[in-house]
Chain A
Amino acid sequence: MKRKQRMNRLGTGLFTFISIFYVLPVVVVLFNSFKKKSYINLEPFKLPNETTFTGLDNYATAINQYDFLKAVGWTVFITVGSVIVILLCTSMCAWFITRVRTRVTRAIYILCVFSMVVPFQMVMFTLSLVTDRLGLGTPWGLIIIYLGFGAGLAVFMFCGFVKSIPIEIEEAAMIDGCSPIRTFFSVVLPIMKPTYISVGILETMWIWNDFLLPYLTLDIKKYKTISIVIQYMKGSYGRVDMGAIMAALIMAVIPVVIFYLSCQKHIIKGVAAGAVKG
């Protein structure tokens, strides 16, 4: 028994050590974000001192020169808008195609599953042509694109859950005089709450971090997301301002960490659920 205790203590020590190493890259970026830009590449692993410390200047540059906060705003708008639209539309669609069994609905289901394995590169060029032609290169248009491209996973996961709901509950509601819409919103939707959370989290993680889809479809001169701004800062336009990039990286990581720590339980459950279904 004593041996086991000692092993456990050793394990905790080892994992504490690994955990510190695990967060170290972000910490390095954090203290570099307080250094003058010319010192960042010279001595990236040294803490800022009197000569290299520059306070919040880098953050000010990122916000003022590169409109970073505007990018955060658009990213929030696109992510929240898309996730709400995806959850609402695909859950309704999934309920419909599970309850109404025709050749058409089965075909839609198969197409959705198929779309999950298609890599984005397959459709990226033609998708950007289509969005251009339809004038969907705005954050509002992007929500429709995300609904279309993200429908596969969402419909698949919702269908998996709808199949497990006993149909008798819905039949009872309909016999009592509920219309299908009322049945869906007051009977089916509350039962599916856990699936809404899982799908919502998976789609949020994807859309928040997505780079290529908004980069190719958005009108970049007017609208940028966080990933696009960071790539743009690093791009070949003029001199690269390492200080502003460090600040931007930290500002990109902070909301994610807050989101993660505040709904960690749901995120981990969502990931496990999504994996089992995938």
Chain B
Amino acid sequence: MEKAIKRYFPIFLLPTLIAFTIGFIVPFIMGIWLSFCEFTTVTDATFVGLSNYIKAFQDPIFLHSFWYTALFAVVSLVVINVIAFAIALALTQKLRGTNIFRTVFFMPNLIGGIVLGYIWQLIFNGLLAPMATALNLNEWYGFWGLIILVAWQQIGYMMIIYIAGLQSIPGDVMEAAAIDGASGPQRLFKVTIPMMMPSITICTFLSVVNGFKLFDQNLSLTAGEPSKMSEMLALNIYNTFYGRTGWEGVGQAKAVVFFILVVAIGLIQLKATRSKEVQQ
């Protein structure tokens, strides 16, 4: 059977493979190569070794955006997951109207980042105006604004994953714990949370990676104001590419650093939470 299928590879495999080569493999390899070059278009690229990487790490705005993004990822991770978990717990308690609440909480997730950013810009500026200030005047307004925005957007998504996890916990385990005299908090921390570790792994992984990759919302809510102080990594890379001529190589070097960072954080995070998963 394998042989019979194999002959049909031009039909089954080739379209995806060609598109994948154009859309991913070639740009990826070119990207790694160009991070070691100075260029404005590909044809005038000259090899310059590590100098792009050195320039990238000497750029104070890049370093600032680095810490700003890391802090953002950690805070958003905690805020989103704690609230989403709490809501999931509450909504699996047979409350009246659970389905409507789920529908409402999930909805913002389907709205695009650019649209979300402008919706919240109106709200935040409206709230800040009576205090004679605005979102683009303080980097921490932008920071907490983004936290509220991504929490609003992603809590529903994580809630769905947590609810699916909670519903897959076998009822007899909870019953056994209750009969053995475990109190409410004990059941939560000794039974529910350990049983939920696979869902927690997924949700924390998604929210930390989303936090690092955040771009659209950052661009539309603050666009890096005031003076690039609320610029996160992805936006900083974008601005290096398209805002400064002659810095394309540095932008690509930053992008490679960014890529390694996202992969590393994802792996570390997976390892840390996977080790706490229990066999069912």
Contacts and interface: CB of A to CB of B under 8 A. Distances in A.
B244 interface: no
Please report whether the interface of chain B is mostly helix, strand, loop or mixed according to DSSP: helix
B54 to A, nearest CB: 20
Contacts of B17: 93, 108
B93 A8 contact: yes
Nearest to B148: A25
A234 B111 contact: no
A22 B259 contact: no
A25 B13 contact: no
Contact of A151 (B7, B16, B129): B16
B262 A22 contact: no
Interface residues of B, number: 91
Nearest to B8: A180
Interface residues of A, number: 95
Interface string A21-39: 0110110110010000000
A77 interface: no
Nearest to A252: B115
B185 to A, nearest CB: 16
Contact of B119 (A16, A26, A259): A26
B273 to A, nearest CB: 14
B41 to A, nearest CB: 8
Please report whether the interface of chain A is mostly helix, strand, loop or mixed according to DSSP: helix
B266 interface: yes
A191 interface: no
Contacts of A267: 106, 110
B192 interface: no
A145 B23 contact: yes
A61 to B, nearest CB: 16
Contacts of B123: 25, 28, 44
B95 A122 contact: no
Nearest to A270: B160
A186 interface: no
A150 B18 CA distance: 13
Nearest to A257: B107
B28 to A, nearest CB: 5
A136 B27 CA distance: 14
B206 interface: yes
7 contacts: A19-B105, A117-B209, A118-B263, A129-B27, A208-B112, A211-B114, A268-B160
Given A8-B96, A18-B101, 17 more contacts: A32-B122, A90-B16, A96-B5, A108-B20, A117-B266, A118-B28, A119-B258, A121-B259, A130-B22, A148-B21, A151-B16, A152-B24, A155-B16, A211-B112, A226-B115, A271-B160, A275-B202
